[in-house]
Amino acid sequence: MPRRRFQQSGFSLIEVLVAVLIVSVGVLGVAGLQLLSLQNNTSAMFRTQAIQSAYDIMDRARANRDIVYAIGMEDNPPQNPPNCETTICSPQQMRNFDIAEWRADLADTLPNGTGAIAYTGGVMTVTVRWQDTRNPAAAPLEVAVTTQINVL
């Protein structure tokens, strides 16, 4: 009686290990892409908040054209302005309230957020600066927005 050779059916252990290795490298790559995507989304969110805040103070300045809004990046915001949402304020008090509220909003929504307002010849430039959380050792990021505002 002749001997029959048994033919192998199924996978060998080495083939399974190679397949698991390939799949695990792929899953790690996808996880890395997901992490990078989340970091970039956070950076984009901060940039969007900075631009929105710049437009906010520009709109406030347009509504109060009797006075020039200006503050340096390192200047302290006005201290203890009256709450102009509940009381009637002069244009100067409204300016102080708007700038103090704007600076507080920047500090709350952006990491190390601050801002400056420059006014030259009818052109208002608002600069918002914050620290990128992905690289704290890097220079702060900033965005500048300009608009034409005529003071009455």
pLDDT, residue 2, reads 65
Tokens 């029959």 found at: 4
What's the rounded mean pLDDT across residues 17-41? 88
**For the chain, what are the domain ranges?**
13-148
Structure confidence by residue, pLDDT tens digits, 55-100: 999 999 999 988 889 999 999 988 989 999 999 999 999 999 999 9
**What is the average pLDDT across 9-34?**
87
Supply the pLDDT for residue 134.
Answer: 73
Q: How far apart are CA 68 and CA 133, in angstroms?
A: 33
Find the mean pLDDT for residues 25-44: 86
- Report the b/e string of 7-34 with b at 16+ CB within 10 A: eeeeeeeeeeeeeeeeeeeeeeeeeeee
The vertex-65 CA angle with 117 and 93, nearest 5°, equals 75
Looking at residue 13, its pLDDT comes to: 82
Give me the mean pLDDT over the 22-45 stretch.
87
Could you write out the DSSP letters of every residue in 59-124? HHHHHTTTS---B-SSSPPPSS---TTTS---HHHHHHHHHHHHHHHHHHHSTT-EEEEEEETTEE
Q: Is the pLDDT of residue 3 over 80?
A: no
- Among the ranges 12-21, 32-41, 44-53, which has the highest mean pLDDT value? 44-53
Residue 9 pLDDT more than 80? no
